[in-house]
Amino acid sequence: MSIYDRIGGAGAVQAAVEQFYTRVLDDPGLAPYFKDVDINRLKSHQRAFFAAALGGPAIYAGRDMSAAHAGLNITDGAFDAVVGHLAATLTDLGVPDDDIMEIAAALAPLRAQIVSAAELTA
């Protein structure tokens, strides 16, 4: 059985994306990345991406990760914060730790395609 099915399918993905973006947009370190972004469109893409990545029936037809995040100057810290918000969202929704770890392992290789900026040091 896929993770998609184990966590509850489309309804669970919908709930996860809504709660996830509430967390991300409330994070002062991440919110600026989403200035001038059509959040409803982004959520739609995210639902399709999550469903496909988790073994569900949805087909993700968006841009590849490198193209989608090009020019955003995303740092390792911002990537880690997003992953943390996703893990917290999944925990709050009752997803078992083993499934969260499996999801995190599937997303970890995307770091190289998403992160494009070095951290600033003071």
Position 120 in a domain: no
Of 21-35, 86-100, 101-115, the poorest mean pLDDT is in: 101-115
Position 122 in a domain: no
Q: What is the pLDDT of residue 61?
A: 67
The sign of the dihedral angle between the CA atoms of 89, 42, 104, 31 is negative
Position 119 in a domain: no
Section 48-70 average pLDDT = 78
Domain residues for the domain of 84 are 3-114
The pTM score is 0.85
Picking from 82, 84, 77, 75, the residue whose alpha carbon sits closest to that of residue 117 is: 75
> What phi and psi, each to the nearest 5 degrees, are found at residue 66?
-60, -45
CATH number at residue 23: 1.10.490.10
Number of domains comprising the chain:
1
One-letter amino acid at 25 equals L
Q: What is the pLDDT of residue 82?
A: 93
Position 121 in a domain: no
Q: Measured between alpha carbons, how far is 13 from 87 in angstroms, rounded to an integer?
A: 13
Mean pLDDT score across all residues of the chain = 87
Q: Measured between alpha carbons, how far is 49 from 61 in angstroms, rounded to an integer?
A: 8
Residue 70 has pLDDT above 80, yes or no: no
